[in-house]
Amino acid sequence: MYDTAQICENGHVVNSSFRAYPQFNTDHCEQCGAKTIHTCPLCGKDIRGRYMDSMSLSEFPAPAHCNACGAPYPWTTNAMEAYRDLLGLAANLTDEERGKLSIAIDDLITDTPRTQTSAVRVKLALQKVAPEVAQG
């Protein structure tokens, strides 16, 4: 059985055991100040947290998508939008390249058979853009 995770809208894990350790719950992220959530904004189901019988002290990664409805969480959507904004700064990419890279970004955020191909496509495109954009 899994506990519920509390994560800020930017993807910082606030509490991976929302129900077991409520004393660590906060309304806003201490790292960035963003509002925290513990349910999927689309379907309302709990965000899957740490396995309750686990004594693991390892870092808990924020899931990219809801395990109940499959929708991307806000931090996933924010990351995708940030990558697309970055593409907009690359003046030497054609519209066709931008379109392909926009699709590739979706594949990078999810784990699919196309993820590795998309990673190569993005890497090759970054070699073409200005060094400032490629390095972030």
Confirm whether 34 is domain-assigned: yes
**What average pLDDT does this structure show over 58-70?**
94
Residue 67 is predicted with a pLDDT of 97
pLDDT at 2 over 70: yes
Confirm whether 26 is domain-assigned: yes
- Summarised one tens digit per residue, pLDDT across range 20-30 is 999 999 999 99
Residue 92 is predicted with a pLDDT of 78
> Into how many domains does the chain fold?
2
Domain enclosing residue 10, as ranges:
2-51
Q: What type of residue sits at position 75?
A: W
Q: Under a CB-based contact definition with an 8 Å cutoff, are residues 80 and 105 in contact? A: yes
For residues 79 and 28, which has the higher predicted lDDT (pLDDT)? 28
Q: Using alpha carbons only, what angle is made at residue 113 by residues 83 and 49, rounded to the nearest 5 degrees?
A: 70
DSSP state of 39: B
**What average pLDDT does this structure show over 52-61?**
78
Confirm whether 57 is domain-assigned: no
pLDDT at 49 over 90: yes
Confirm whether 77 is domain-assigned: no
- Summarised one tens digit per residue, pLDDT across range 91-113 is 778 888 888 888 888 888 778 88
**What average pLDDT does this structure show over 27-37?**
98
Scan for tokens 């191909």, then name that residue: 117
Q: Which two tokens stand for residue 3?
A: 């506990």
